[in-house]
Amino acid sequence: MPAVDRPSTHPRPQSTPQPPASEPVVCVRDAAFAYPGGHSLLDGLSLDLYAGAVTTVIGPSGSGKTTLLRVIAGLERLERGTVEIAGRAMNDRRQHTPPERRGVGYLFQDHALFPHMTALKNIAFGVRGRRRVERLALAKHWLDDVGLAEFADAMPHTLSGGQQQRVALARALASEPRVVLLDEPFSSLDPEMRDQLCPQTFETLRSVGVATLIVTHMPIIAKHAGGPVFEINHGQASRAKIG
Amino acid sequence: MTPRCIGLPLTLVLLALTLFAPGLHAQGVVNVYTSRHYDTDAELHGLFTQKTGIRVNSIEGNADELLARMRNEGDLSPADVFVAVDAGRLQKAVDQGVFTPFESDVVEQNIPDFMRHDQGLYIGLSKRVRVLYLSDRVASDFVTTYADLADPRLKGKVLIRSSGNVYNQSLLASFIANYGQADTEAWARGVVDNMARVPQGGDTSQIRALAAGVGDVAVGNHYYFARMLVLGDASDKAAAQTVRLVFPDQQGRGAHTNISGIGLIKTAPNRDNAIRYIEFLTTPEAQAIYALKNFEYPAVEGLELPEVLKSFGEFKSDTLNAAELGRYNRDAVEAMDRAGWR
Amino acid sequence: MNLSVLRPGPWPLIALAVSLLVVVPLATVVFASLGDAQGSWAHLAQTRLGTYTRNTLTLAAAVCAATAVIGTATAWVVTTCQFPGRRLFAWALLLPLTVPAYLAAYAYTDLLEPGGQLDAALRAQTGWSTLDLPPARSLAGAAFVLSITLYPYVYLAARASFAEQSGAAIEVSRTLGRGPWASFFRVALPMARPSIAAGAALVLMETLGDFGAVEHCAVDTFATGVFHAWRSLESATTAARLATVLITFVAFAVLLEGITRRRARFYQLGTRLPPVRRTTLRPAAAVAAIVGCALPVAMGFALPVAAFARLAWSAVESHAVQIAIEAGLRSASVAAVAAAIAVVLALAVRFARRFAPGPATATPAAACRLGYAIPGTVVGLGLLIPLAAMDRGFNGLTLWAFDWRPGLILTGTAAAVVIGYQTRFLAVATALLDGAFKRLRPSLDEAARTLGSSRLEMIRRVHLPLLRGSVAAAALLVFVDVVKELPATLMLRPFNFDTLAVRVYQLAGDERLPEASAAALVIIAIGVIPVATLSRLTQPSSARTKSLQPQ
């Protein structure tokens, strides 16, 4: 599958100049969060994500992994602490940048493809600001890229789990995010499919040069990812070693 | 089985039995198909049962509905008598052949000849006059005849209910009998052109709308007005007091007078009880309830009228035979349909 | 493999027999329409057919559009926004479902009548008159009354769709750079469209079949046409032809509902969805939301109830209460019997499908589901003809054999009405049991049978205990529908058998609404019972929020 050989017109996040590699794209500091009435999920968590690097956070279910992604994406408001994306503060006491203005791509656990749109339209949904024809052309490139060119007009419910995941990835990347967040990717796939799709996905992400954060409960995924690995514990992240 | 297990099914079965048990042929009942539905009926039936021990089963409904029902039931119909509030419907029942003549000295004594069908198929029990109502914004001689209602000077001023109403059907049937089909249709078109609003509501609604200024002249049966004056709530009374009742065509054929009446069903399973019921309705005691409590003019002569009817004064009635109303009913309906009378 | 496939037994026959309750009236009407109408059809075609068509179609379009807007907007606000009173409104928005359209029509025409109380008060206070308002008795009035009482069908469907799917979809859309409004119009609304259309299709069926409201609002539609042709033009053929046209319209609604429901299945997102996160509204927006949710409840429920309550109070010395009690007892007893029979028949059809799967049982079951869509006047017409024939035939038989005639066993007793209720409301019971049966896994049967239960024992010891809740709910819904039913009751009822609905209809037609007001209030009150239950059954959001509390 031609996950690496992309056409030269391939969209890259060029609109915002890449910060130097030493500067983190996403910077989470002292983040604290609890659902109303629930126990605290994040409690002083800090984490940096770098462009071109695939960072993994592992932890058991209920440890706040998903919450971390939602906080970065702006789907939840922080109680304390800060999230910076590309050097800009995304939240403080009074103001909260809504998800649509953060430049994040989010891969949901169940892929969350829009069931009323074709695969191509799903991908085109996130492409902004150009003419319709161009939007569709770009979406088409991304579809090619994940090896699903012939499925442009397919409705999501006709696609297999692996295909749905690839469309979801293409959709997230097509919106030219600075950071891509993956929630338990591959967990709904069988092991064989997972081992096939996993390396391709990371290859694509690295080659785009976007900062990536994966949360998972499966150490094997962290191994595939090959980047820094953190463990989430009592609402805080600590560097972990994966054997 | 525990009692709890059989309790519910048992109740339901008993319920079903009481619902389904017809009891229509039991001793001492009379089955009444009636298109009257006034509260006084309960009082009337109670009095009858008290006097004779005969229980009254009744089904109330639109006369056409009841006739359709009897046709459907054929000679198995449980109906003993049919009560209609309009001569047209009584005649329709005659045409359908559901009535049979009966002999009764009591009835002959109580009900004058002109209130009895010429072959004794039905008798009238009360008289109802279709009158005109004028608002207090117009002169008392603004409209004096039915013909005036089609006069172009009344454009947008006439209030009258729909063509589905039997009183209007009989009114038009009387015109067809008196003046012919063509003139009647021309009249109907004229009335439709003059209507203040699309026909809607009952007779009371026309009077209320008249008082509220929707139009200047309304058509309705006299007793609706009497009921408003006597039994209405404060706003109805106030409205009725601004309205003047006019008996039309007093220089001509007289006001269109309809009857309510009763006939014996050919297939009546309780024939004797039915005749006793009919006889009962012609007694002054029953008439005082049947006719007077609803402010209709009774069929029996010599009864003391309520004050409100006295206040309407004497009037001249159209003497057209009720049979004619039934004969031209369908023509009347079609004439109104063609005139665009809703 | 299902054990029972091996022996279908009597089940297909049972299912077929039950489905005759729906098939026979339909077939009768279609067959009768082929007869000779003796010129009354030609007359009708010249004069009223155009009006019927125009009114029916305009009314259907207007009511569908209005209910779609009201139902969707309120469902969206209640599901995705947080404002004071939200939980109350989520429930209260269903209340207009308890007010049959004909009752709302009576209340509004009475309220707005020129020269009525409101008019008098208005004139006294402001110099305005209800004459300045659009007339209640008009096509617009009928459309208003139907919309304001039927929108909960759309509201329920849309709310379920929003609650189940929109949370995730909106979040995806927002991470892809779309704001809240764009997300609603481009994602949430298109995804909910099949559900909204299915709700609107139900509204369409109700509108096409409505008799009481349009009759009172002076709007002639096919449904009233059937009734009038049957009773005044004296031609069963003409009535049957009108009924056939009406059935064709209804068939369209049924088809639409089926198609959209099938599509709605594909429009589900994946399985593990986060609950919708409600946005807390700022004060100004919250006030707008409260007003927006309160208006439909006020117009569809509070106002008619208040109008009837005021009338009942004014008529407290008349027979109003006595009428309500007498008719109420009659309604309650016939509704209880009808509901019990409906549940038994629906269970029979469902068990038939379970024990003998295949077209021989699936087709009759599908036929049973159609009954709800058949307008009451069509049911009345379609049953009167065959039931009367059966009565005549049976009496002929007994006369020949025993020289004795039992009389009208079917049309002369409550049997006809109860059969009519089965035709119309069997579908209600079947629909509720459908869901419950789907949750009974086939392995249960297999376990029971391998443990040595006979089939009947299995039904008694395994299935019925598990189905108890649904059976009760089905009986309750049929009960309420029977209490509200007007046109079929009107055509099929026997002696001394004026139900609440029939009494109210007669008194309202006679302009004696005050006397009918207590009975009207009873109808509404009975309707409130299942709305409370129904609301609990179909309120996924609150239950889900609890079970999906933070991980």
The encoded tokens of residue C59 equal 């009314």
- Residue C47: its pLDDT value, please? 77
Mutation choice for B interface testing from C337, C422, C478 by most B CBs within 10 A: C337
Is residue C40 within 8 angstroms of chain B, CB to CB? Answer: no
C-alpha C2 chain-centroid distance: 35
Is residue B136 within 8 angstroms of chain C, CB to CB? Answer: no
Mean pLDDT of A139-162: 89
pLDDT band at C5 (very low <50, low <70, confident <90, very high): very low
Which helix (H) or strand (E) is C472 found in, with range? helix C464-484
Checking DSSP bridges between strand A26-34 and strand C81-82, what pairing results, if any?
unpaired
- Are C113 and B12 within 8 A, CB to CB? no
- Residue C275: its pLDDT value, please? 62
- Are C407 and B22 within 8 A, CB to CB? yes
Q: Is the Cβ–Cβ distance between A25 and A49 less than 8 Å? A: yes
State the distance between the two ends of chain A, measured CA to CA, in whole angstroms: 29
Distance in Å, alpha carbon of C511 to nearest chain B alpha carbon: 7
Mean pLDDT of C357-382: 87
Residues in C closer than 8 angstroms to A125, CB to CB, are: 173, 176, 178, 186
Residues in C closer than 8 angstroms to B239, CB to CB, are: 115
Secondary structure in 3-state letters for C307-339: HHHHHHHHCCCCCHHHHHHHHHHHHHHHHHHHH
Q: Is the Cβ–Cβ distance between A113 and C163 less than 8 Å? A: no
Residues in C closer than 8 angstroms to A109, CB to CB, are: 270, 272
- Are A104 and C175 within 8 A, CB to CB? yes
Nearest to C390 by CA among C379, C398, C402: C398
pLDDT band at C459 (very low <50, low <70, confident <90, very high): confident
- Are C270 and A61 within 8 A, CB to CB? no
pLDDT band at C433 (very low <50, low <70, confident <90, very high): confident
Interface of C with B in 60-79 (CB under 8 A): none
- Are C171 and A99 within 8 A, CB to CB? yes
Q: Which of A214-223, B6-15, C153-162 has the lowest mean pLDDT?
A: B6-15
CA distance linking residue C127 with residue B10, whole number of Å:
62
Checking DSSP bridges between strand B81-84 and strand B29-34, what pairing results, if any?
parallel
DSSP bridge pairs for A216: A58
Question: Starting from the edge strand earliest in sequence, which strands make up the sheet with A229-233, in order?
Answer: A104-107, A179-183, A211-216, A54-58, A229-233, A236-239
- Are A110 and C271 within 8 A, CB to CB? yes
Is residue B5 within 8 angstroms of chain C, CB to CB? Answer: no
Residue in A with minimal Cα distance to C272: A110
- Residue C232: its pLDDT value, please? 66
Residues in C closer than 8 angstroms to B204, CB to CB, are: 511
Residues in B closer than 8 angstroms to C49, CB to CB, are: none
pTM of the model: 0.80
Q: Which of A18-27, C67-76, C238-247, C532-541 has the lowest mean pLDDT?
A: C532-541
Average pLDDT of chain C, as a whole number: 83
For residue B3, pLDDT over 80 is answered with no
For residue B107, pLDDT over 50 is answered with yes
| Sequence-distant (≥ 6) Cβ neighbours of residue C482 within 8 angstroms | C331, C334, C335, C338, C339, C421, C425
Nearest to B210 by CA among B232, B165, B242: B242
In the block, tokens 């503060």 appear at: A89
Is residue A185 within 8 angstroms of chain C, CB to CB? Answer: no
Distances, alpha carbon A171 to alpha carbons A106, A123, A149, A160, C88, in Å: 9, 4, 14, 16, 39
More confident residue, A97 or C143: C143
- Residue C69: its pLDDT value, please? 95
pLDDT band at A10 (very low <50, low <70, confident <90, very high): very low
For residue C167, pLDDT over 50 is answered with yes
Distance in Å, alpha carbon of B252 to nearest chain C alpha carbon: 31
- Are A112 and C169 within 8 A, CB to CB? yes
The encoded tokens of residue C326 equal 């007498």
For residue B334, pLDDT over 60 is answered with yes
CA distance linking residue C197 with residue C51, whole number of Å:
27
CA distance linking residue C248 with residue C29, whole number of Å:
12
Phi and psi at C430, nearest 5°, equal -60, -45
CA distance linking residue C349 with residue C13, whole number of Å:
10
Distance in Å, alpha carbon of C510 to nearest chain A alpha carbon: 52
Is residue A72 within 8 angstroms of chain C, CB to CB? Answer: no
Residues in C closer than 8 angstroms to B233, CB to CB, are: 314, 514
Establish whether this prediction's ipTM goes over 0.95.
no
Distance in Å, alpha carbon of C169 to nearest chain A alpha carbon: 7
One-letter amino acid at C425 equals: F
Residues in C closer than 8 angstroms to B238, CB to CB, are: 120
Using CB atoms, list chains with 3+ pairs below 8 Å to chain B: C
Residues in C closer than 8 angstroms to B137, CB to CB, are: none
Is residue C495 within 8 angstroms of chain B, CB to CB? Answer: yes
pLDDT band at A13 (very low <50, low <70, confident <90, very high): very low
One-letter amino acid at C437 equals: F
Phi and psi at A55, nearest 5°, equal -95, 140
Residue in C with minimal Cα distance to B211: C115
Residue in C with minimal Cα distance to B165: C232
pLDDT band at C306 (very low <50, low <70, confident <90, very high): very high
- Residue B273: its pLDDT value, please? 92
Q: Which of B5-14, B204-213, C74-83 has the lowest mean pLDDT?
A: B5-14
Residues in C closer than 8 angstroms to B57, CB to CB, are: 495-496
Nearest to A38 by CA among C294, C550, C210: C550
For residue C389, pLDDT over 70 is answered with yes
Nearest to C193 by CA among C158, C164, C150: C158
Mean pLDDT of A119-146: 86
When computed from its CA atoms, the radius of gyration of chain B, rounded to whole angstroms, is 22
Q: Any alpha helices (H) in chain A, and if so which ranges?
A: 65-73, 119-125, 132-145, 161-174, 191-208, 219-225
Interface of B with C in 188-227 (CB under 8 A): 197-205, 208-214, 224
CA distance linking residue C197 with residue C202, whole number of Å:
9
For residue B182, pLDDT over 70 is answered with yes
What is the three-class DSSP state of C488?
Answer: helix
One-letter amino acid at C217 equals: C
Q: What is the pLDDT of residues C397-417, one digit of tens each?
A: 888 888 777 777 788 788 899
- Portion of chain B with pLDDT greater than 90, in percent: 40
In the block, tokens 């009960």 appear at: C479
DSSP state of C186: I
- Residue C265: its pLDDT value, please? 63
CA distance linking residue C475 with residue C467, whole number of Å:
12
Phi and psi at B126, nearest 5°, equal -160, 160
For residue A184, pLDDT over 90 is answered with no
- Residue A1: its pLDDT value, please? 39
Most confident of the ranges A24-28, B232-236, C291-295, C360-364: C291-295
Is residue A167 within 8 angstroms of chain C, CB to CB? Answer: no
pLDDT band at A16 (very low <50, low <70, confident <90, very high): very low
Distance in Å, alpha carbon of C324 to nearest chain B alpha carbon: 13
Is residue C314 within 8 angstroms of chain B, CB to CB? Answer: yes
CA distance linking residue B181 with residue C6, whole number of Å:
73
For residue C1, pLDDT over 50 is answered with no
Residues in A closer than 8 angstroms to C273, CB to CB, are: 110
Nearest to B20 by CA among C410, C408, C414: C414
For residue C132, pLDDT over 70 is answered with no
CA distance linking residue C401 with residue C406, whole number of Å:
12
Residue C377: CA count within 13 A, CB half-sphere = 31
- Residue C543: its pLDDT value, please? 35
Taking 3-state DSSP, the helix, strand and coil percentages for chain B, each rounded to the nearest 5, stand at 50, 15, 35
Is residue C135 within 8 angstroms of chain B, CB to CB? Answer: yes
- Residue C339: its pLDDT value, please? 93
Residue in B with minimal Cα distance to C134: B197
Mean pLDDT of C34-63: 85
DSSP string, C193-250: HHHHHHHHHHHHHHHHH--HHHHHTT---HHHHHHHHHHTS--HHHHHHHHHHHHHHH
For residue C460, pLDDT over 60 is answered with yes
- Residue C535: its pLDDT value, please? 57
Distance in Å, alpha carbon of C348 to nearest chain A alpha carbon: 35
Distance in Å, alpha carbon of A35 to nearest chain C alpha carbon: 6
Mean pLDDT of C124-143: 77
Residues in A closer than 8 angstroms to C279, CB to CB, are: none
Q: How would you label B57-90 residue by residue, b for 16+ Cβ within 10 Å and e otherwise?
A: bbbbbbbbbbbbbbebbeebbbbbbbbbbbbbbb
Residue in A with minimal Cα distance to C168: A112
- Are C269 and A112 within 8 A, CB to CB? yes
What is the three-class DSSP state of A57?
Answer: strand
Phi and psi at A45, nearest 5°, equal -85, 135
For residue C551, pLDDT over 80 is answered with no
Distances, alpha carbon B156 to alpha carbons B152, B193, B239, in Å: 9, 8, 20
pLDDT band at A98 (very low <50, low <70, confident <90, very high): confident
Mean pLDDT of B124-141: 91
Q: What is the pLDDT of residues C323-356, one digit of tens each?
A: 888 889 989 989 999 999 999 999 999 889 888 8
Is residue A125 within 8 angstroms of chain C, CB to CB? Answer: yes
* Dihedral angle over CA of C354, C359, C360, C366, nearest 10: 80
Is residue C392 within 8 angstroms of chain B, CB to CB? Answer: yes
- Residue C109: its pLDDT value, please? 87
Phi and psi at C10, nearest 5°, equal -85, 0
What is the three-class DSSP state of B57?
Answer: strand
Q: What is the pLDDT of residues C168-188, one digit of tens each?
A: 788 888 888 888 788 888 888
CA distance linking residue C134 with residue C130, whole number of Å:
8
- Residue C534: its pLDDT value, please? 61
CA distance linking residue A25 with residue C348, whole number of Å:
65
- Portion of chain A with pLDDT greater than 90, in percent: 14
- Residue C548: its pLDDT value, please? 30
Mean pLDDT of C267-272: 53
For residue A12, pLDDT over 60 is answered with no
DSSP string, B152-192: GGGTT-EE---TTSHHHHHHHHHHHHHH-HHHHHHHHHHHH
Q: What is the pLDDT of residues C486-530, one digit of tens each?
A: 989 988 888 778 899 998 998 888 778 888 889 999 999 998 888
Chains B and A touch (3+ CB pairs under 8 A): no
Average pLDDT of chain A, as a whole number: 82
For residue C201, pLDDT over 80 is answered with yes
- Residue A101: its pLDDT value, please? 83
Distance in Å, alpha carbon of B251 to nearest chain C alpha carbon: 32
